């Protein structure tokens, strides 16, 4: 059983009290430039997801509490949740440093765009 805790309202329960929403931090391309979306960008948005062994970042919805979406960092090997955080936030810097593969690249690009450097 997975124990999930909502960072918005504090509700806690097993995974059946929540709804898993897939990979976190997925940017919908049509939100930003709907006229110039390529077929490849739309395909990637709909079908391409990270599937790592180890640390993974996911979206969850608090079904029995506030109904809000939030993010969770979970180890896919041990099934242990490492952190829950708001939908508009990034995980803690410690977890960002632990991220590997595409997740490490994603968090580095976010850090570069916030500091004004080119990604």
What is the model's pLDDT at position 34?
83
Q: Is the pLDDT of residue 11 over 60?
A: yes
What is the model's pLDDT at position 17?
94
Average pLDDT of 6-30? 93
**In a domain? residue 33:** yes
**In a domain? residue 118:** no
**In a domain? residue 117:** no
Domain of residue 29 covers: 3-91
Query: Hey, what's the torsion of the CAs at 98, 101, 91, 53, to 10 degrees?
Result: -80
Interatomic CA distance for residues 103 and 58, integer angstroms: 12
Q: What is the DSSP letter of 97?
A: H
- Kindly state the tokens that stand for 92: 């803690």
Query: Which residue spans within the chain are E strands per DSSP?
Result: 3-5, 12-14, 18-23, 55-62, 69-75, 81-86
pLDDT tens for each residue of 102-113: 999 999 998 887
Contacts of 108 (CB under 8 A, 6+ apart): 119
**In a domain? residue 42:** yes
CATH code of the domain covering residue 81? 3.30.2270.10
CB–CB of 91/68 below 8 Å?
no
pLDDT tens for each residue of 24-62: 998 888 777 788 899 998 898 899 898 899 999 999 999
Would you place residue 115 in the very low, low, confident or very high pLDDT band (cuts 50, 70, 90)? Answer: low
**In a domain? residue 109:** no
**In a domain? residue 62:** yes
**In a domain? residue 80:** yes
**In a domain? residue 73:** yes
pLDDT tens for each residue of 69-96: 999 999 999 999 999 999 999 999 999 9
Using DSSP, state whether 100 is helix, strand or coil.
coil
Helices marked H in the chain: 29-32, 39-47, 93-98, 102-115
Average pLDDT of 7-22? 95
- Our count of domains for the chain comes to 1
- Kindly state the tokens that stand for 38: 């390529």
């Amino acid at each position: 059983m997975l124990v999930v805790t909502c960072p918005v309202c504090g509700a806690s329960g097993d995974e059946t009290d929540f709804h898993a929403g897939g990979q976190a931090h997925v940017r919908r391309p049509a939100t930003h430039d709907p006229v110039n979306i390529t077929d490849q960008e739309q395909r990637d948005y709909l079908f391409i997801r990270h599937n790592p062994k180890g640390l993974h970042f996911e979206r969850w919805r608090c079904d029995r509490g506030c109904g809000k979406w939030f993010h969770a960092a979970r180890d896919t090997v041990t099934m242990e949740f490492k952190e829950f955080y708001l939908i508009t936030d990034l995980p803690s810097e410690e977890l960002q440093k632990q991220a590997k593969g595409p997740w490490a690249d994603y968090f580095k690009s976010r850090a570069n765009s916030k500091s004004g450097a080119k990604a």
